[in-house]
Structure 1
Amino acid sequence: MGLHFNKSWKILIGAVSVSLVGCGGAGLETPDSLSQATQGVDGAVTLTLHGGAELNLECGVDSWSDPGATATDGSGAPLTVQSYNSGNDGFGPGPQSGAEGTYHVSYLAHDANWNLAEGLRTVNVRDTQAPTLTLAGETDIIHTCGSNWVDPGYSASDACYGNLTLSVAVTNTVNGWSEGTYTVAYEVQDSAGHTVSASRTVTVVDCPVYE
């Protein structure tokens, strides 16, 4: 008997899973026939994804672990499910939880007569969180007039994009020879467009008075 691929596929969406059914006979066109197929119509193969057909991961925070899938033949007997790009097979590295993007993991099962069922899972890795920006030292500083003010420093990091310290923009300068209150502003943005800012107040005091 030659290799036979089904032309009719149906997607059954349940409360906690997505079932894809392939049948070698006539097209399954009614809810009744769909229900029967999942209950073991001769020749039907049912594949169920665990954990949902679409998953969202926070970049650099969540980790990817394939929830897997199960399949049964028309008599209800379990079938082997082959995954592709799950990270646990030889067909791709799987979704990368540390890199933004949309990844796909597919699953395939067949019975002894090569009736097939397949499933597709979409994994979205998104960066929805802003970076962190930390100022070293105090945020309110008293500086005695007569010397250069030296910034105590700062650091920035992002769960998805790592160390962003070199990307911090610093605006406003402090004149260490002129009394007054200065506000130094710091801002950093990650590659997803999330921005965080901070500021430091420097007060220059005790400058000599010339009469």
Structure 2
Amino acid sequence: MGLRERKKERTRDELASAACHLFTERGYEATTVEEIAAAVDVSPRTFFRYYPTKADVAIEILRTAAIDITLETFAARPRSEPLTASLRMAALAPIDSHEQRPDEVFTVIRMINANPTLRGRIVEQQLQGRDELAALIADRLGADPAGDLRPRLIADLLITTMSSVVDHWGNSNCQADLRLLANAGFDLLESGLGAAADVGAVPCS
């Protein structure tokens, strides 16, 4: 990556970080694009070069904080590791990454739940993340994702379970132990996931 590209990447990251801080401090609706840009000492016009709308930076914050970490962690796990162990580590990775900043995580959850547009957008991101995870699972299983039900089903179950865990945590005003909840949710899934991974291919037709 050249100097220009690194500078652009740094500016993009700084805008997302400033937005997350301001959303935490003032709330999503009360924060303006002008304030986010000013926090990084750039113009609103520069902000719009990186993010078409304020919603786009909010979605990127969540995508980076949760979905990307899950995918990267699963991809990095040893192929010799049991699939269920790799999935558990991938599911817990975003929690471990942000356990020192629960206020920021809660702010992101709260602003998404309170804004139908953001909620719809994050569902789109979850579906995309599910498809990416299913492809990684298919590769691990040596399965054909177009003809085998297992990768998509396992990815669906994991994404849905973790969404339920995070929603439950948010409803407790972040008072519950998020890692404990996540492990409990995964425990409920694990025997079924293990069985799905161990059986042969499940044809879609």
- Shorter-chain TM-score above 0.5: no
The TM-score bracket by the shorter chain reads under 0.3
TM-score by length of structure 2 reads 0.22
Larger radius of gyration: 1
By relative contact order (CA 8 Å, sep 6+), the higher-ranking structure is 2
TM-score by length of structure 1 reads 0.21
Higher share in strand: 1
